[in-house]
Structure 1
Amino acid sequence: MATIEAKLQPNPPVMKNQKLFLGAQICLRSFALATTLAATWIMVTSKQSVEIVGIAFDARYSYSSAFKFVAFANAVVSACCLVSLLFVFLLHLRGSNPNHYFFFFLHDLFIMCLELAGCAAATAIGFVGKYGNSHTGWTPICDHFEKFCHRVTKSVILSYVSLVVLLMLTVGSAIKSREIRV
């Protein structure tokens, strides 16, 4: 009799681990949403005009395809984080099923790869903007457009922070999806 009652009662450490995992999912997804939204906003609003030798020059994120890509990637990742946050709440209400975490793993892996591609593109063009490239004749522009470069740098740093958070979410989803019972 005692063994049947023990099997029917939920295991308190398992319930505690599920609540801890749910809390971590909510916090990390919310933080990824906030950082990608902030990175998008900073990138989209970064612009500066300077006058050099009587000629006005503008620097805007939309002049670079890499900066447009990172802004777009951050916006898409923000939307995906919001959707996945809603699904985490729904999953919690319906009960945890490890089969669902495999789809979270695929989702998290996709948005992490998208964020990584955006970070790489922005870092590459940012490096050229900061230091130039003497072999191709590209001169650095950050000595003239300091405000613009600082805002873009802040956006890229926030993108890398969100990339790390997305990596943690991907690893967590992968670990949780390994609990699938066939």
Structure 2
Amino acid sequence: MKSEATAIDVPEASGATKGKAPILTVPRQEKGGMNRGLGIIDLVLRIGAMVAALASAATMGTSDQNLPFFTQFFQFEASYDDMPSFEFFLIAMSLVAGYLVLSIPFSIVAIVRPHAAGPRLLLLIMDTVALTLATAAAAAATSIVYLAHNGNASSNWLAICNQFGDFCQQISAAVVAAFMTVVTFMFLILLSALALRKH
């Protein structure tokens, strides 16, 4: 007498394969939060650098002082366009400020799409170029500002800040603002490099 075997159908678990245990999928932690935070800091620093660059260019461009000598028809004048270094400073810082204005949309894209490496790489390269330009402008202007304050006896360069005090204050403030821009660019480059490393 044959005994009848009863077959029980067991449905296969989804994701399971023959001869292998089912694979457990652990949700991947999103790195977007960290990159988004870096992007927000980048945007704030970029706006601050833009304000500093615009302030330095505007201050240098409006630096001018007249000193009357006996009559109003004969005057001594000190102006930024008397010195090529100050003219270079004005042009360079204007270019840097213009670049910072144009870079803000790319910084916003880096916030909206934190995993996109393209905008961050572009900002890193262009920030390095702008840093070089801002540093050159600030260094060139600093040497002339130093001579204006202290003079140089070896080359018979007289200090003019005793007579043109307002002019010297303006050009000194422009140089300080330019160096603030330079320092901010250093932080921007570090942030971009850190964000790219997270990719």
- Partner SS, residue 4 of structure 1: coil
Q: 1:53 to 1:131 in 2, by over 3 A?
A: farther
Partner of 2:10: none
CA distance in 2, matches of 1:154, 1:106: 28
Percent sequence identity is 23
- For structure 1, list consecutive stretches of 5 or more residues without a partner in the other structure: none
Q: Which has the larger radius of gyration?
A: 2
Give the number of aligned pairs: 176
1:82 to 87, 94, 101: 101
CA distance in 2, matches of 1:74, 1:3: 57
Partner of 1:23: 40
TM-score between the two structures when normalised by the length of structure 2: 0.81
Partner of 2:58: 41
CA distance in 2, matches of 1:179, 1:103: 16
Partner of 1:144: 163
Q: 1:51 to 1:92 in 2, by over 3 A?
A: same
User: Comparing 137-146 with 50-59, which one deviates more in the overlay?
Assistant: 50-59
Tell me, yes or no, if the aligned pair for 2:69 and 2:75 is still in contact at 8 Å: yes
Per-residue deviation, residues 38-77 of structure 1 (Å, max 9, x unmatched): 1111110110000246541111111111111111111101
Per-residue deviation, residues 99-140 of structure 1 (Å, max 9, x unmatched): 432221111110011000011000001111111111111111
More helix by share: 1
Per-residue deviation, residues 121-163 of structure 1 (Å, max 9, x unmatched): 0000111111111111111111110000001111111111111
CA distance in 1, matches of 2:145, 2:50: 23
Q: CA deviation at 1:175?
A: 2.4
CA distance in 2, matches of 1:3, 1:105: 39
CA distance in 1, matches of 2:86, 2:25: 61
Q: CA deviation at 1:94?
A: 4.7
TM-score between the two structures when normalised by the length of structure 1: 0.88
